[in-house]
Amino acid sequence: MLVNRFLRYPISIFHSAQILLSRGRSTYAPQEAQEQPAPSKELISSNCSNSEIITLWASYRLRGGEKLHELRKKGMVASMVSDFDAENRTQYNHYIALQRKEVWGYVTQMGRQDFMSHFYNLALHEHPESDQIRHVIKVYPRKLYLINGRRTILNVAFVRARHNVKLRMIIPLKFRGRTVCPGLINGGKLVVLKKAVSCLVYPDEVPPYIEVDVSKLKVGERILLDDLNVDLASRRQAGYVVCEVKKYQLVRPSRSRSLAWREFPDIFTLDYDWGR
């Protein structure tokens, strides 16, 4: 019995050493470089301009709320296009369906904010099984509804882009003249409060950005949205501050809570009598 125990002990040590060596070899062995999949050519990068219009597949729906859960099971997304007729002063809503994989691919590739700031062409079919395109219209996204934590698109709302109807769009702001600004030269600090502005523009006249000249600002002066030469979407925004040159001041850090607790320990206790 004792001999068997002494024989098993070195054998167990030998097996454990072999296991450790095999693990070490697998851990520190040179791994082959894995080839990363190339990006899809069908998806356009996020820095594309509005001149590169993407075409989305779409088909007509009979009415809104038409068994949307069955529509999602087929891999499609419910959508709506709002069309405003300037001559008759009327608005029409057209109910359509999009392919979920196609829309989700563009959203993940471009980003949600970039996806909502581009024009698209909708190739409208009579029904999902049809290969014949009935209409091709130019649209602009208005709203995108997603389920939190899931790759599920509930709804996408578009507005038709007509050449004679202004659209409400968000245009980024670009500041120039910082190097010659007298307020910044004298030790001021430029505080930017608005990086984009919501304005009404025609689809064919959408600027890539709006320039804001800060070369003449002094300390204490500001620029309002009303000072910009744009057609604001709401007149309530006229008094909003775009940027301001403030005097740069060093703020000393306040006394820490630990030092205050040393001087007034009763303030930070629950049984402090506030009535005394």
pLDDT tens for each residue of 44-81: 233 334 447 889 999 888 765 557 778 888 888 889 89
Give the pLDDT confidence score for residue 215 in this predicted structure.
Answer: 93
* Threshold 0.85, pTM exceeds: no
Q: For all residues of the chain together, what is the average pLDDT?
A: 75
Give the pLDDT confidence score for residue 244 in this predicted structure.
Answer: 94
CATH superfamily of 168-247: Ribosomal protein L25, C-terminal domain (2.170.120.20)
Tell me what the mean pLDDT of segment 38-43 comes to. 29
pLDDT tens for each residue of 104-146: 999 989 888 788 888 999 999 888 888 888 889 999 998 888 8
Other CB atoms within 10 Å distance of the CB of residue 252: 6
Contact 122, 136 (CB under 8 A): yes
Residues contacting 8, CB < 8 A, separation 6+ = none
Give the pLDDT confidence score for residue 179 in this predicted structure.
Answer: 92
Tell me what the mean pLDDT of segment 253-261 comes to. 53
Tell me what the mean pLDDT of segment 32-41 comes to. 32
What CATH number was assigned to the domain covering residues 54-162?
2.40.240.10
Give the pLDDT confidence score for residue 252 in this predicted structure.
Answer: 56
Give the pLDDT confidence score for residue 75 in this predicted structure.
Answer: 87
Tell me what the mean pLDDT of segment 219-247 comes to. 89
**Has residue 264 got a pLDDT over 70?**
no
Parse the chain into domains and list their residue ranges: 54-162, 168-247
Give the pLDDT confidence score for residue 218 in this predicted structure.
Answer: 93
Contact 165, 86 (CB under 8 A): yes
Contact 144, 116 (CB under 8 A): yes
**What is the pairing mode between strands 210-213 and 76-85?**
unpaired
pLDDT tens for each residue of 182-198: 999 998 999 999 988 88
Tell me what the mean pLDDT of segment 220-239 comes to. 88
**Has residue 222 got a pLDDT over 90?**
yes
Tell me what the mean pLDDT of segment 204-210 comes to. 86
Asked if the domains 54-162 and 168-247 are classified in one and the same CATH topology, the answer is no
Per-residue HEC secondary structure of 194-234 comes to CCEEEEEECHHHCCCCEEEECCCCCCCCEEEHHHCCCCECC
Give the pLDDT confidence score for residue 147 in this predicted structure.
Answer: 80
**Has residue 258 got a pLDDT over 70?**
no
